[in-house]
Structure 1
Amino acid sequence: MSLSKGIQSAAAAALSAAMLIAVAACGTTDGTKSGDSSKDSSSTSIQGFDTSSIQKDDEIAALLPDSVAGDGTLTVGTDTSYAPAEFLAEDGKTPVGFDVDLSKALAAVFGLKENTVSSTFDSIIPSVGSKYDIGISSFTVTKERMEAVDFVTYFKAGSTFVVQKGNPNKVDSSNLCGVKVAVQTGTTQEEEVNKANEQCKADGKDAIDIQSSKLQTDVTTAVASGKASIFYADSTVSAYAIKQTGDTLETLGEDAGGVPEAVAIKKGDTKTAEAVQKAIQKLMDDGTYKKILDTWGVGSGAIDKAEINPADAA
């Protein structure tokens, strides 16, 4: 299927401008609210939830091993190309997003400073326990990933296909054979498209032209600029991308799935897993967690119980 050549240059420009503001792996976006805003983000007009009033919980903090708490900092690995979960503010260096606010809230419960470190999505899990204390980057819980790390759930989301406004290439998401499909490297969406591609080849049909990019911003740009016909991503991210590109894009079909996302923790580090689970549950129970999600317009993805290595992994 050929790509549309009629996309307006103004639309591409709108995308570029949006991505300078939100340098962008799941639920629908409810619309960003302005309520609680961070007081330490003077370098950017993008404001998140103010975590400064969150108090240390001595009992929960005592659960953390010295390997995590010893330096006084909770170091979190994240891919800051995935708005609105984690992305860079207008200054191009300050991490913001609901996952970042959750990281700050966890650090506050532990009585630690928080340090979000930008990385590529597929490099975070291998570095948890060495370079990073934990990873918070919209990780969908899968059995394969649980072989490498332990997980503590905090969100639930689905996946969404996105095309140019009006679907000019007449893409059918149920038949992607021969279609140029953009995905982010290392995501569950990439895995699903790879499986669909194998089926295309087994059926004797044209292969899917899979365009895998390290950054979600590049995935979004590929479709908005006409280099790809469709992309597949977490539904929160898809909804945010549509909003940020001035409705240059639109969803195709219904959201798929509804699977848990979780904090990644070094495999076998039961103390940190327990501490993170209890800290997230505390934030859920006292209402802070929901306020964070509502600040970013993603409250529909809220869950009420944080679990270690849930049984419903994909």
Structure 2
Amino acid sequence: MQWRGRRGSSNIEDRRGRRGGAAAIGSVGGLGVVAVVVIGWFLGVDLTPLLRDQEISLGGGGESQITQADEEAAEFVSVTLADTEEVWSAIFSEQVGEVYEPPTLVLFKNVTQSSCGNASGATGPFYCPGDRKIYLDTAFFTTMSERLGAEGDFAAAYVVAHEVAHYVQDELGILGEANRIRSQASQIDANAISVRIELQADCLAGIWARAAGDRFGSLDQGDIEEAMNAAKQIGDDTLQRRAGRVPAPHTFTHGTSEQRAKWFEIGYGSGEVPACNTFSAEQL
């Protein structure tokens, strides 16, 4: 992905370096596994199957040190977010007939607060409908590469685009209605609705990828393969297998690896928002 030296977004809220208390996954006084689960269905990536008390912690007290890698990741996110702003502004104008008002993306390190609860690098990036902001700890990109096998800058761009897609769903009124129905459904049915929400976001991310390539000429050879590999690596079945569990479809909240890659490809191939109607699809 050709991103260096390009325009960044002004819609970044940088909370890195702010003072935060210690929080350990699984600790009674910290963020805790329960908080991860509560916030989990909003996420583009559900890492709860991978949580281990001894493996993941959310920093100690004091301010977080900002490294050169942090700065580069923040610059990358800013450029990617700017790309989504231009692409979705054009799509809303051409396909929706409305004006696109871009979201704010909150950059943080270790842990921060959102209207949806605590945000941490362990829970992964997510969109919070409560404050209509996207939350991202740039260290998650390292987790993607080193622990999830999703390498490459366009794999990281796909994650940003997926979270922006949740905001797009909210703007279109889809997310609010899906959440309303989901809140009244059984757990199994609620999970099934969540899968359709997430697969639609993957499809919308595919639309963005196509438009970004056409509009900016920023895609390198192999970028789409990186995004599709990332989609596969964060499928519910793959994450559960990696955690040593037998995949249980009734617990899926994001879709299988095959489904996530398929819907990204549908969006990339069509470039049209109606093609991403996962809610009317008989076969996911």
Q: TM-score range by the shorter chain?
A: 0.3 to 0.5
- TM-score w.r.t. the length of structure 1 is 0.30
Q: Which has the higher contact order (CA 8 A, sep 6+)?
A: 1
Larger Rg: 1
Q: When you count helix as a share of all residues, which structure comes out higher? A: 2
- TM-score w.r.t. the length of structure 2 is 0.32
